[in-house]
Structure 1
Amino acid sequence: MGYKVAVIGATGNVGREMLTTLAERNFPVDAVAALASENSIGTQVSFGEKDILDVQDLARFDFRGWDIALSSPGGKVSAQYAPKAAAAGCVVIDNTSHFRMEPDVPLVVPEVNPEALAGYTKRNIVANPNCSTIQMVVALKPLHDLARIKRIVVSTYQSVSGAGRDGMDELFNQTRAIYVNDPVEKRKFDKQIAFNVIPHIDSFMEDGTTREEWKMMVETKKILDPRITVTATCVRVPVFIGHAESVNVEFERPITAEEATEALREAPGITVIDHRADEGFVTPVECAGDDPVFVSRIREDFSVENGLNLWIVADNLRKGAALNAVQIAELLAGNYLRK
């Protein structure tokens, strides 16, 4: 017996990836509903290689009798509809930032803190972390277990797909405009993204931190360890899919690059490619479409006691969003919603 699964925001980048991932991983479904705003009514989306789903109006959908909702429609929409679905008995796995830091909503990365999922019963809502946070904590969990992390300094290089289809379209259109000598139009980003990098993701806060940077700081504490201090600089780069991170870590105890590499190779969800030679590392182009978090450039930082440097890359639409949500659904089905 399978589950009835609704995908909210099914016409967006992440929503489509959620449908693809559900099918690829053979999640046991009896029914799948693709939900979006009424503007998307009449469109269709794919579920696996054979099934085509008609998009239904989220505002009119009755969640009674549905088991799980994978939700990625934007924070304001989730704020309105996730509690309605949860009240109807449907467990919502929400990919937006709206519920992440609420104390009674678990923030879950299955490879890192699966035990936190037990708290879903308080509100019937589970939060999916920020895409950049997910790939970082997956890579850092085995190292934290080994030597206890004190401080993290991270700089991200985030692809335009993190800003949705509009972000991808803007990179494509600006690049084409530059080559044919047309005016470069800015709509999604506040500065030109083609052939440029922008140190501004999400809105600025009073202290000069952006909300994307703040998310990485507070979410890491909630998922991994509240005692860890984190500072982040988040940058948008002209790449379509795949986020990269340069991560500097300070530990409580000594740890060598060799010990770190061994721990990472044995950890779930991680692929280590670190040959210390030309092409002996992973970039976003190579990780697009793949599930693992890739770790390269593992080396000791001699400027600080017990320090390491890492290069971490992952597909932000998969492990950074859709895959993590589906893995949470698999944990729910396996441990809490057994039929």
Structure 2
Amino acid sequence: MGYKVVVAGATGNVGREMLNILAEREFPVDEIAALASRKSLGTEVSFGDKTLKTKDLDTFDFTGWDMALFAVGSEATKQYAPKAAAAGCVVIDNSSLYRYDPAVPLIVPEVNADAIMGYSKKNIIANPNCSTAQMVVALKPLHDRAKIRRVVVSTYQSVSGAGKEGMDELWEQTKAVYNPVHEVPPKKFSKQIAFNVIPHIDVFLDDGYTKEEWKMVAETKKILDPSIKVTATCVRVPVFVGHSEAINIEFEEPLDWQEAQDILREAPGIMLIDKREPGGYVTPIESVGEYATYVSRVRQDPTVDNGLVLWCVSDNLRKGAALNAVQIAETLGNRVLKKG
């Protein structure tokens, strides 16, 4: 016996990935519904070897459905997630709306799966920000061994994190570089993204950080450990898919790079590829379509006591969004609903 599963936002990048990953991982589905806004009503999406026609999110009755994976943004989630939850359908939400709600668990299954039991307070589970998800997967096994005191992270985030509009803008601006007759001014981003990097993701806050940077701080504390100090600089780069991060970690106890490699090699969700030679590391293009969070370039940080530096790469549409949501669904099924 399987589950009755809803994917809301099924025509978007993340929604389509959710359907792909549910099929790839052979999630026990008895019935599946693909929902979209009225303007996308009837659009066909793939689920394994099946083709689904989208249904109207606005009029859908969630009664009798087990779980709903939401990829519709905060505004629509605010309207529809409480309806689904009230109907007894557990919502797994990819937006930022519920991430900081103390009554809603924020889950990365490799890191804090036990926290999923808190779902019953609101019948909602939050999926973290894409840049946070891959980082905490890499940090968790090291934190268990030597307790992390402080993290300094610089991200190199692909345009797919800004949705289809971001990907289209990079593509059109790149073509325009070679055909200057057709100028493509920035719309989705604050400056030209083609052949450029932009140290600005989301809105600016009063302290000079951006909201994306604040998210990484707040979410790492909620998921991993509130005592960890985190500072982030988040940068948009002209890459279509795949987020990269350079992470400096200060521990409370000594941890050498060889032992760190051994720990990471055995950790769930991580693929260590770390040869100290040209090409002996992973770049974002190699992470596309993969499940793993890749770690490379593990080395000592000589500027602080008990410091390490590493490079972390993942497909942001997968581990940063759709894959993590499906893994939450799997955890919910295995630990709570127990049908499959």
Residue of structure 1 equivalent to 2:253? 253
Give the secondary-structure state (helix, strand or coil) at the position aligned to 2:27: coil
Give the CA deviation at 1:338.
Answer: 1.4
Verify: 1:288 aligned to 2:279, yes or no.
no
Verify: 1:278 aligned to 2:278, yes or no.
yes
Provide the C-alpha distance between the structure 1 equivalents of 2:20 and 2:35, rounded to a whole number of angstroms.
Answer: 15
Provide the C-alpha distance between the structure 2 equivalents of 1:70 and 1:194, rounded to a whole number of angstroms.
Answer: 33
Give the CA deviation at 1:116.
Answer: 0.3
Give the secondary-structure state (helix, strand or coil) at the position aligned to 2:125: strand
Give the CA deviation at 1:183.
Answer: 1.1
Give the secondary-structure state (helix, strand or coil) at the position aligned to 2:259: helix
Provide the C-alpha distance between the structure 2 equivalents of 1:120 and 1:204, rounded to a whole number of angstroms.
Answer: 31
Residue of structure 2 equivalent to 1:314? 314
TM-score normalised over the length of structure 1: 0.99
Percent sequence identity is 67
Residue of structure 1 equivalent to 2:174? 175
Residue of structure 1 equivalent to 2:212? 212
Provide the C-alpha distance between the structure 1 equivalents of 2:312 and 2:338, rounded to a whole number of angstroms.
Answer: 35
Verify: 1:66 aligned to 2:65, yes or no.
yes
Residue of structure 1 equivalent to 2:328? 328
Amino acid in structure 2 at the alignment position of 1:168: M
Give the CA deviation at 1:169.
Answer: 0.4
Residue of structure 2 equivalent to 1:31? 31
Give the secondary-structure state (helix, strand or coil) at the position aligned to 1:86: helix
Residue of structure 2 equivalent to 1:19? 19
Verify: 1:155 aligned to 2:163, yes or no.
no
Q: Report if aligned partners of 1:301, 1:308 keep a CA contact under 8 Å in 2.
A: yes
Q: In the comparison of the two structures, how many residue pairs are matched?
A: 338
In structure 2, stretches of 5+ residues that fail to align are none
Give the CA deviation at 1:190.
Answer: 1.0
Amino acid in structure 2 at the alignment position of 1:314: S
Give the secondary-structure state (helix, strand or coil) at the position aligned to 2:34: strand
Residue of structure 2 equivalent to 1:230? 230
In structure 1, stretches of 5+ residues that fail to align are none
Provide the C-alpha distance between the structure 1 equivalents of 2:138 and 2:173, rounded to a whole number of angstroms.
Answer: 34
Residue of structure 1 equivalent to 2:111? 112
Amino acid in structure 2 at the alignment position of 1:274: D
Provide the C-alpha distance between the structure 1 equivalents of 2:198 and 2:35, rounded to a whole number of angstroms.
Answer: 33
Mapping 1:58-207, distance limit 5 Å: 58-181=57-180, 182-207=182-207
Give the secondary-structure state (helix, strand or coil) at the position aligned to 2:230: strand
Give the secondary-structure state (helix, strand or coil) at the position aligned to 2:332: helix
Give the CA deviation at 1:112.
Answer: 0.3
Provide the C-alpha distance between the structure 2 equivalents of 1:112 and 1:66, rounded to a whole number of angstroms.
Answer: 27
Amino acid in structure 1 at the alignment position of 2:304: V
Amino acid in structure 2 at the alignment position of 1:82: A
TM-score normalised over the length of structure 2: 0.99
Provide the C-alpha distance between the structure 2 equivalents of 1:322 and 1:220, rounded to a whole number of angstroms.
Answer: 19
Q: Report if aligned partners of 1:178, 1:184 keep a CA contact under 8 Å in 2.
A: no
Give the CA deviation at 1:42.
Answer: 2.3
Amino acid in structure 2 at the alignment position of 1:92: V
Give the secondary-structure state (helix, strand or coil) at the position aligned to 1:169: helix
Amino acid in structure 2 at the alignment position of 1:138: V
Give the CA deviation at 1:184.
Answer: 2.5
Provide the C-alpha distance between the structure 2 equivalents of 1:141 and 1:256, rounded to a whole number of angstroms.
Answer: 16
Give the CA deviation at 1:335.
Answer: 1.2
Provide the C-alpha distance between the structure 2 equivalents of 1:202 and 1:12, rounded to a whole number of angstroms.
Answer: 19
Residue of structure 2 equivalent to 1:5? 5
Give the CA deviation at 1:236.
Answer: 0.2
